[in-house]
Structure 1
Amino acid sequence: MNDRIQKVKPSGIRRFFDIANEMDHVISLSIGEPDFSTPWHVRQAGIESLEKGRTWYTPNRGFAELRQEICNYFQRRFHVSYDASSDVLVTVGGSEAIDLAIRTIIAPGDEVLIPQPCFVCYEPMVQMAQGVPVIIETKEENSFRLTPEELLSHISPKTKMLILPYPNNPTGGVMRRQDLEKVAEIVRERNLFVLSDEIYGELTYGGEPHVSFAEVQDMKERTVVISGFSKAYAMTGWRLGYALGPSPIIGQMTKLHQYAIMSAPTTAQYAAIEALKNGDEDIEYMRRQYDMRRRLLVDGLREMGLSCFEPEGAFYVFPCIKSTGLSSEEFCERLIYSERVAVVPGTAFGECGEGFIRVSYSYSLKHLTEALGRMKRFVASLRNEGGEK
């Protein structure tokens, strides 16, 4: 077997999800899965496509109407114009789009800058493309944002790409316009490509909307934007994402997609057209609900004595558990076996996640309230046994 593949570690997120599935009465806050059903009008569009027998292959790049609606969405939401005929590729989830972009741009030995903590897929995908991951540790005191100083200190003559995973999974950190503009200056000066994963772009809180990196001056032509329908539209199981970028790059990504996948699911594409046309109110409703849950979870974790950064995007909190004296793995294992609550150790998102856990609030208020009660009891028991440091 391929040594490179054998050396890639399995996802640390799934381990605790799998444990939870084998136990009774577990509240799992481990997976980034919206508890909302896909909005009815979106499901109805998918059902109608099946009833009418629309089950054939689609064009490799995706339906022309869907690609146009993606461009319309980016124009009205971020004021960035793309050509639907050449700048868009519809993929099987955002993860496929990330993989295609990395394999298209990265040659063996090229270095890729990855701010961590971050989603689990970037580092192994770079390794599988024979690139070299260069980890940039972001810090809680900087709100888990990538600073210009951190970026500059990790650039070398071999650096080709920067990955921007914002809004961030697992921390909930975001990059505001002024932050992105400082990064853009360096990207321009050092002639880097950027992969901007904006799958959580619709889920930001606090009054300032998400800014796409492609909005920043001169960045559109050197950026591949990744997004999709899983998070904002509660369409995880439909497996639909997309990439936007310069036509030469999208063209080469399409070639990989053509041979490996052929086309994204037909029914999902019809549903996505409806979501983009008429789903803005659905997004806003879910965003308000997430915001309510976010505040409940942050307050609850702080009340039990855990330091907790207030997330400004996505639907995760990333509390610090160092005061308990346990490692991230130990905390999560003891929590699930003693109180039947599943969360994810911070180390699943990079070594710098040690001392933190990820808790998803993409679940109902009832489940979150019950989980907080169990976690409070667990943390209190640790202190009673003299575990606090």
Structure 2
Amino acid sequence: MKVLSERTNHFTESVIRHMTRIANSCGAINLSQGFPDFDPPAKLQNRLAEVAHEGPHQYAITIGAKNFREAVCKKQEHFSGLRYDPEREIVITCGSTEAMMITMMSVCNPGDKVVIFSPFYENYTADTILAGATPIYVPLSPKDFSFDANVLEDAMKEPGVKALILCNPSNPSGKVFTRDELKIIADLAIKYDLYVITDEVYEHIVFAPSKHTYMATLPGMRERTIECSSLSKTYSITGWRLGYILAAEPIMERIKKVHDFTVVGAASPLQEVAVTAMNFGDEYYRDLQMHYTHMKTLFTDGLRNLGFKFSEPQGTYFVMMDISEFAKNGIIDDNKFCIDMAQKVGVAAVPGSSFFRENVNNLIRFHFAKKDETIIEALNRLENLKKK
């Protein structure tokens, strides 16, 4: 038979989702794939029950239900100060996964190049390749996840570079880029006429004193920033698959067409329910930050008390832990380590090498979006890690 698509031969299946399957098969606590084990807000659950009987149950308009688009734009203006036209500058997507993919397909031509910070969320490489482009990686220091501005500029000025992907707050590192760092990126994007595609799904999970800055708010960046985001993390509804893209009208015109022919539209009943979330007051986001700060403190204090080394997250709900102490003769296989830890200790994590372009295999990623009792049980099991 004829050879299948070459571009799909250049990346593996998701390591994150693979670790979930391993966790499920052996009964491990799943701290690999980032979804909570607690319920969404009660107001959303109650509204979901109402909409199940009231509808809508048929297609919404392709770009998203009008009331939901208007609500998202209103929320975005509240938090960023930027006003987006709900008719021309937004499309509702099936999660931020679709948002990133159709953005890449809308921006890139075959042969273009895309700059990606390493470590990176694993989908970015696949998105780039599926769009026919080539990824160029700029390393973040594994110690503090800072970047060298000169290395970044060398990458951005390469012939054929079309865009840069920025995850902020960053998965897997938990880094929150400072305004000064974002200014460096923005100035270079303007200098070399590049698009900046942002993944900002953790925008409301930030730990003091860090603060999240929207790239599009920087001078000259409103017209060249394509913001992808999602309701999954902020409202604990990862299974609803609701996301959105915000961008200037000329860009959005391309994105809308790709979205239409890819998925037609996101689930109309869930859009109707999600309007409720968009109308939550500031107290919801303050409580969310307090809740995640509590979970972070509980988990990282536990790791610290057990004597493990890790990077203190500034945002998201991820922690990168150093497993160098488990190396034998200076060698460690982080993939095997994570599988063994799931099967023998009962806690699942993601091997860090799946996030790095560089040869980094001494880190693993945990997530802590869990109930207190789940976190405490995971820490109790991890107490046996050095023994087993």
Deviation at 1:13, TM superposition (A): 0.6
Deviation at 1:48, TM superposition (A): 2.0
Match of residue 344 from structure 1: 350
Q: Compare 219-228 and 26-35 and name the one that shifted more.
A: 26-35
How far apart are the structure 2 equivalents of 1:167 and 1:147?
18
Amino acid at match of 1:347: S
Deviation at 1:35, TM superposition (A): 2.4
Q: Which runs of 5+ in 1 are unaligned?
A: 383-389
1:147 and 1:179 in contact (8 A); partners too:
no
* Deviation string, structure 1 residues 336-371 (Cα, Å, up to 9, x no partner): 121111111101212444210000001112121221
* Deviation string, structure 1 residues 123-166 (Cα, Å, up to 9, x no partner): 0111011100111121133x214442231132202111000011
**Structure 2 residue matching 1:268: 3-state secondary structure:** helix
Deviation at 1:3, TM superposition (A): 2.1
Amino acid at match of 2:139: E
Match of residue 212 from structure 1: 214
Match of residue 151 from structure 1: 152
How far apart are the structure 1 equivalents of 2:284 and 2:38?
10
Amino acid at match of 1:13: I
Match of residue 8 from structure 1: 11
2:352 and 2:361 in contact (8 A); partners too:
yes
How far apart are the structure 1 equivalents of 2:49 and 2:251?
34
Does the alignment pair 1:358 with 2:370?
Answer: no
Q: Structure 2 length normalisation: TM-score? A: 0.94
Amino acid at match of 1:324: F
Query: How many pairs are equivalent?
Result: 379
Match of residue 243 from structure 2: 241
Among 59, 62, 66, which residue is 1:60 paired with? 62
Alignment of 1:1-389 (within 5 A): 1-24=4-27, 26-141=28-143, 143-155=144-156, 156-278=158-280, 280-325=282-327, 326-352=332-358, 353-379=360-386, 381=387
* Deviation string, structure 1 residues 88-119 (Cα, Å, up to 9, x no partner): 01000011010011000000111100101121
**Structure 2 residue matching 1:278: 3-state secondary structure:** coil
CA RMSD of aligned residues (A): 1.5
Deviation at 1:287, TM superposition (A): 2.4
1:115 and 1:164 in contact (8 A); partners too:
yes
Q: Structure 1 length normalisation: TM-score? A: 0.94
Cα distance change on mapping 1:53 and 1:374 into 2, 3 Å: closer
Cα distance change on mapping 1:266 and 1:158 into 2, 3 Å: same
**Structure 1 residue matching 2:56: 3-state secondary structure:** coil
How far apart are the structure 1 equivalents of 2:86 and 2:152?
33
Q: Which structure features the higher share of helix residues?
A: 1
Deviation at 1:238, TM superposition (A): 1.0
2:116 and 2:135 in contact (8 A); partners too:
yes
**Structure 2 residue matching 1:84: 3-state secondary structure:** coil
Amino acid at match of 1:293: M
1:39 and 1:282 in contact (8 A); partners too:
no
How far apart are the structure 1 equivalents of 2:76 and 2:15?
33
2:56 and 2:272 in contact (8 A); partners too:
no
**Structure 1 residue matching 2:196: 3-state secondary structure:** strand
Q: Which runs of 5+ in 2 are unaligned?
A: none
2:164 and 2:197 in contact (8 A); partners too:
yes
1:148 and 1:186 in contact (8 A); partners too:
no
Q: Compare 101-110 and 152-161 and name the one that shifted more.
A: 152-161
Amino acid at match of 2:370: Y
2:118 and 2:140 in contact (8 A); partners too:
yes
Deviation at 1:53, TM superposition (A): 3.3
Amino acid at match of 1:66: F
How far apart are the structure 2 equivalents of 1:250 and 1:270?
23
How far apart are the structure 1 equivalents of 2:151 and 2:298?
33
1:318 and 1:358 in contact (8 A); partners too:
yes
How far apart are the structure 1 equivalents of 2:37 and 2:292?
10
1:145 and 1:174 in contact (8 A); partners too:
no
Deviation at 1:279, TM superposition (A): 5.6
Q: Compare 115-124 and 363-372 and name the one that shifted more.
A: 363-372
Cα distance change on mapping 1:90 and 1:147 into 2, 3 Å: farther
1:87 and 1:247 in contact (8 A); partners too:
yes
Amino acid at match of 1:55: H
Residue identity over aligned pairs, in percent, reads 29
How far apart are the structure 1 equivalents of 2:178 and 2:54?
45
2:176 and 2:211 in contact (8 A); partners too:
no
How far apart are the structure 2 equivalents of 1:41 and 1:280?
15
Amino acid at match of 1:188: I
